Structure 1
Amino acid sequence: MSAGLNKVIIPVAGLGTRLLPISKSIPKEMVPVLDRPLIQHVVEEALAAGLNEVILVTRGGKSAVEDHFDSHYEIEAELERKGKTALLEALRGIAPPELKITSVRQDRALGLGHAIHCAAHLIPSEEAFAVILPDVLVKPQVDDTGCDLKAMVAAFQSQQAAQIMVERVPLERVDQYGIVDCDGAEPAAGECLPIKGLVEKPARNQAPSRLSVIGRYILPGTIMQHLAETGPGAGGEIQLTDAIADLIRQGDAVHAFRMSGRTFDCGHIPGWLQANTVLGREAGLLEPDRGDASV
């Protein structure tokens, strides 16, 4: 597996049904968290990790996602004329010079594995790449400036093993996630351990651990061939977890990297509201939670 790593695939072709009615006419990736849309949060995360070649897997009706990273001469000229330097710099910072964005189309919604395989022609078999799911924001703990994705890239470069980011969830929620099996062990935060297998949404009494997959992956280019040969799995869709399971069965090293930060599932209304509330308070944009004012 090559140590070079600068490409990231971000699937943005989903319908966003969990965010309806907000996402009826607005791509879910353009729904804002604080002062910027979800897609900008995850592209900034990718850049912080050294991943500057972004491949968007998109579909019709999602042009706003691509347009967000275009320059807008009229707005920039007006901001410059009015001397609004800080806002102008923020606008230009959306797409810094090192960022390279390519878009490919997913013609049918056949699952995450299918979406990733749509970019197969851009990923050489000897080249590793990352995957970020934009529904989930990964943010550092308060007073921490670290980047879990950057740390996972370092783990990949050190171990030369595919990486899957995980977090520990309560037992009563394991049936909502893909759960990794590290043969009874659990890595400490910021560390990784080999994965023995993956189980998609196991029953609570059958879960091999409480470590859930959270939508950040570093994978070898050879997984594209596995995806090409993977048939429909759960939900009749081509599942990325099935292709990763094939990698493990053939003896490729796949590690679980345990994050140290926090996740916000912005793919549904409660999680999106939580992200805006918690991060808004931390940024000083909202009043702090003072509890029940009547007490």
Structure 2
Amino acid sequence: MTSNFKDRVAIVTGAGNGLGRAYALELARQGARVVVNDLGGSRDGSGTSATAAQAVVDEIVAMGGEAIANASSVTDEQAMNAMVAEVMGKWGRIDILINNAGILRDKSFAKMTIDDFRLVVDIHLMGSVICTKAVWDIMRTQNYGRILMTTSATGLFGNFGQANYGAAKLGLVGFMNSLGIEGAKNDVRVNTIAPAAATRMTEDIMPADALAKMDPVTVVPAALYLVSEDAPNRAILAAGAGGYQRSYITLTRGISDEGNANVEAVAAQFEAISDRSGELLPENAFAQSAIGLGLL
């Protein structure tokens, strides 16, 4: 396979710090032209500053690369469209979008406000939707595009105090799955990374000895593979601390009780319904109905 990024044009959101910064710097090292987007706010989404994005651009330029700083919010549709228009005017194409921007507002659901829930979903999920929509037709027209969503172990498996974050992060997996199907004919491949890294987002969540082993650079190889020319499509790849795993959404074979189903029958057969032997990895939403109809 090849990971040649020379003269590719990449947009990385949330690239002023942590993972996004690591992605942007390595893409630039490998010859990509990079748009460094970062609102410059705090971990909870408050405040703005263009300093973080510009600092990364300065690093890229110092190493002989090309980069543009952008300090707009990914939730601002007009600003994201303007950013994309600027990139097209300067470089004429957009090959890669890494949707990395995010915030945390952790609380138990009992104590969480609807505003806390909505803001996290708006930035992680809707921010990714807005940025992806801004580049989608460009990638389809040029018959090439690589888009990376960012999920998390919380989205995939759950975590106390992160109902808002988990909902947004699993939503991105559903977004990826449908986009990957729609984009395939134009070689627009969409994947998702589940990173585990020592960043502002995790500095007070994980033990210090674990964080010491989890430099963001350990996630970079997986992220760059997922936006490379030979990237897969619709993969969920977990990465961190030098380890890599793949996550799947599967469907059990279940049971067929046509015409006789009732609550008692489902309860009595729940263990059989849950049996994972022979489980399927569906290609699309029709697999569930196909199993029920005896077609799979």
- Scaled to the shorter chain, the TM-score interval is 0.3 to 0.5
Q: Which structure has the greater CA radius of gyration?
A: 2
- Give me the TM-score of the superposition, normalised by structure 2: 0.36
Between 1 and 2, higher relative CO (CA 8 Å, sep ≥ 6) is seen in 1
- Give me the TM-score of the superposition, normalised by structure 1: 0.36
The structure with more helix, counted as a fraction of residues: 2
